[in-house]
A and B are shown apart, each in its own frame.
Chain A
Amino acid sequence: MFFVFSPNVGQSQSFLIDLQEVINVGKINSITNKNAPNLILGLTKQMYSYASIKFVFMLKILHQLGEYFIFISKVFRRPEKGKVFRELYVKELWKLGVGSIGIIVIISGFMGMVITIQTASQINSGWIPAYLVGYTTRQSMILEFSPTMLALILSGKIGSNIASELGTMRVSEQIDALEIMGINSANYLVLPKITALMSIMPFLVILSMFIGIFFGYVICETVEIITPSDYITGIQYDFRPFDIVYALIKATIFAFLITSVSSYYGYYASGSALEVGRSSTKAVVYSSIAVLVFNYIITQMLLI
Chain B
Amino acid sequence: MIEIKGINKSFGDNHVLRDIDVTFESGKANLLIGASGSGKTTLCKCTVGLHSPDSGTISYDGRIFNLMSRTEKKEVRREIGFLFQGSALFDYMTVEENILFPIKMFSNLTKREGLDRVNFCLDRVDLNGANKLMPSELSGGMKKRVGIARAISAKPKYLFCDEPNSGLDPQTSILIDNLIKEITHEYNMTTVVITHDMNSVLEIGEHTSFIHKGVMLWDGTNREIMDAETTELTDFVYASSFMKELKRMKG
Binding site for B on A (CB under 8 A): 80-81, 84, 168-169, 172-174, 176-177, 179-183
Number of B interface residues, CB 8 Å? Answer: 24
A182 B82 Cβ-Cβ under 8 A: no
Does B140 belong to the interface (CB within 8 Å)? no
B74: Cβ under 8 A from any A Cβ: yes
Q: Which of A81, A177, A182, A183 contacts B84 (CB 8 A)?
A: A177
**Smallest Cβ-Cβ distance to B154: which chain A residue:** A181
B235 within 8 A of A: no
Query: Chain B 76-88, CB within 8 Å of chain A: the 1/0 string?
Result: 1110101011101
Bound-state CA distance A168–B91 (Å) is 10
Task: Choose from B75, B88, B101, B154 the contact partner of A173 (Cβ within 8 Å).
Answer: B88
List residues 207-238 of chain B with CB under 8 A from any CB of chain A. none
- Give Cα distance in the complex from A179 to B106, angstroms: 13
In the complex, B105 has a CB within 8 A of chain A: yes
Contact check, A84 vs B86: say whether CB atoms are below 8 A apart: no
Q: Which residue of B lies closest to A87 (CB)?
A: B104
In whole angstroms, what is the CA distance A177 to B78 when docked? 12
Chain B residues positioned under 8 Å from A183 (CB to CB): 105
Give chain A residues whose Cβ lies under 8 Å from the Cβ of B106.
181-182
Q: Type the 1/0 row for B46-68, where 1 means its CB is closer than 8 Å to any CB of A.
A: 00111000000000000000000
Q: Considering the chains assembled together, what is the distance between the CA atoms of A65 and B159 in angstroms? A: 37
Collect the chain B residues with CB atoms within 8 Å of residue A168's CB.
Answer: 91
Asked if A181 and B77 sit within 8 Å, CB to CB, the answer is: yes
Contact partner, B88, options A81, A84, A177, Cβ 8 Å: A177
13 CB-based A-B contacts, threshold 8 Å? A81-B105, A169-B90, A173-B84, A177-B82, A177-B88, A180-B49, A180-B82, A181-B78, A181-B82, A181-B105, A182-B74, A182-B80, A182-B106
**Is the pair A172, B105 in contact by a Cβ cutoff of 8 Å?**
no
Any chain A CB within 8 A of the CB of B6? no
* A179-B49, A181-B82 given; 17 more Cβ-contact pairs under 8 Å: A80-B105, A84-B104, A84-B105, A169-B90, A173-B84, A173-B86, A176-B50, A177-B82, A177-B84, A177-B88, A180-B50, A180-B82, A181-B78, A181-B101, A181-B102, A181-B154, A182-B77
CA distance A201 to B105 in the complex (A): 29
From the candidates B73, B75, B84, B91, name the one contacting A176 in the complex (CB within 8 A).
B84
- Contacts of A169 on B, CB cut-off 8 Å? 90
What is the CA–CA distance of A33 and B86 in the complex, to the nearest angstrom?
A: 65
A169 to B75, CA, bound (A): 24
Contacts of B80 in A (CB 8 A): 180-182
Query: Interface centre among A84, A172, A173, A177, by most B CB within 10 Å?
Result: A177
